[in-house]
Amino acid sequence: MHIYLYNNCLIEDRDESIRRCCRQYAKDTGAASLLKFIDTAAISHRVGGKPFFRDGEQIHFSLSHSGSIWGCAVDSDPVGFDIEDTARFEKGRRYKQPAQADSRWLKIAERFFTDSEYEYVKAGGKKAFFELWVRKEAFLKYKGGGLSMGLKSIELVSGGHLISELPGGWVREVIIGSGFMAAYCAAEKREVERMVDYRKQGDKD
């Protein structure tokens, strides 16, 4: 699995950006035979909104954007990927006391997470909230149903601890930089073999 990161403000054409990432993956992995397919295959959307190459299963991708960052995970097998700007729920809001901000995470967790996950957020605060949020989003994207499946459709806490092995998937956090959290999901345990951060290169290609 490879992950490619860009400045969100530089993404003008989403489909072309997807193709760019997939082309780079093909080059990085020595799969030059995929280049023509990537350039010509139509990009469609599943019922839950997940984009995919309609004309074949040779290459898979999952994209996400939040705040200033846009990212795409590419692999030879299905993948789900999510990024969250950890300040996005606070923008435009002013809290007189830290406890007011903390209560916001708890309210969202109480509404959308399972009881065990809610207790995890109560104990861990904002960091715990986003640890769960990105993992849930990555899993739902991997499954292809998106948020329509419901955030409570998967349990990510057992015995007060995060778990990675899930029914029909394996999820893990990936570090992409300060102020952001991200996670990916695949059928089984796997590593990110390469992550390219074009934001640091000042370059789109």
Contact 138, 80 (CB under 8 A): yes
Length of the chain: 205
Using pLDDT thresholds of 50, 70 and 90, give the confidence band for residue 204. Answer: very low
With CA atoms as reference, report the closest residue to 75 among 49, 53, 48, 108.
53
Using pLDDT thresholds of 50, 70 and 90, give the confidence band for residue 198. Answer: very high
Q: What percent of the chain has pLDDT over 70?
A: 88
* pLDDT at residue number 150: 66
Fold entry, domain 2-200: Ribosomal Protein L22; Chain A (3.90.470)
H helices within 45-97, ranges in order?
A: none
In this predicted structure, the answer to whether residue 102 has a pLDDT above a threshold of 70 is no
**pLDDT tens digits along 41-98:** 999 988 777 899 988 888 999 999 999 999 999 999 999 999 999 887 665 555 455 5
104 DSSP 8-state letter:
H
Report the C-alpha gap between 44 and 58 in whole angstroms.
15
Mean pLDDT (whole number) for 10-24: 95
Kindly give, in sequence order, each residue whose CB lies less than 8 Å from that of residue 174, ignoring residues fewer than 6 positions away.
3, 182, 183, 184, 192, 195
